[in-house]
Amino acid sequence: MSSLLSLAKLRVPLGGQEVELQQIDFPGGGMSLLRTRIRERSRFTVFDIDPLTARQWGEALLQWADSQPQE
């Protein structure tokens, strides 16, 4: 059975979604995956991504955030 390590939990202020990031490690070893769980009321969206995709996604998020006006 794989093991999960909670990395971060966020609540989106507009919409109230809960976002949790978890690291998935498999018993046989190999590459860890990043699980993203988004909860909207009783509905869950879950997907697992590899480190390269996580880096590309993270960089895109940072680029967008940096381009927004500062509060």
* Residue 17 belongs to domain spanning: 3-66
Residue 38 covered by a domain: yes
Residue 71 covered by a domain: no
* pLDDT for the residue numbered 31: 92
- The letter for the amino acid at 40 is E
- DSSP-derived secondary structure for 14-57: TT--EEEEEEEE-TT-S--EEEEEEEETTEEEEEEE-HHHHHHH
pTM of the predicted protein model: 0.85
pLDDT-based confidence at residue 67 (cuts at 50, 70, 90): very high
Residue 23 covered by a domain: yes
Residue 7 covered by a domain: yes
Counting the structural domains of the chain, the total is 1
Kindly report, residue by residue over 31-50, the tens digit of the pLDDT.
999 999 999 999 999 999 99
pLDDT exceeds 90 at position 71: no
